[in-house]
Amino acid sequence: MSDTPPICPLCLRPIPPGVPQSRHHLVPRLKGGKGGETVLLHQICHKEIHASLTEAELARDFNTIAALRAHPRLARFIDWVARRPPAFNPRSTGNRRGR
């Protein structure tokens, strides 16, 4: 087993042990993605995906990492979070979709 931490495919930063992380279904479970491909992300990255896009948008247009990385709002988030340490996980409240 490797001691190298996994890399978050959204922000391309390592996911150190103990840092909040979660699995993202590339096609949402409720939109036919149950049992489908998942990716391991920082929890902050996963939350930003769901704050930015609806389940329908994720299923229809943003069901790959490349598509997610190309989304304008997520691209700005990635640029911002890439300058933070891998363990960065701020407290946030509320739904940011639509901001």
pTM: 0.87
Distance from C-alpha of 73 to C-alpha of 78, rounded to nearest angstrom: 9
Could you tell me which residues come within 8 angstroms of residue 25 by beta carbon, excluding any fewer than 6 positions away?
33, 34, 36, 37, 38
Which two tokens mark 41?
């992300």
pLDDT in tens, 58-89: 999 999 999 999 999 999 999 999 999 999 98
Average pLDDT rounded to a whole number, residues 32-54:
94
pLDDT of residue 94: 47
Which two tokens mark 55?
């389940």
Secondary structure of 10-57 as H, E, C letters: CCCCECCCCCCEEEEECCCHHHCCCCCCEEEEEHHHHHHHHHHCCHHH
pLDDT in tens, 4-38: 999 999 999 999 999 999 999 999 988 888 889 99
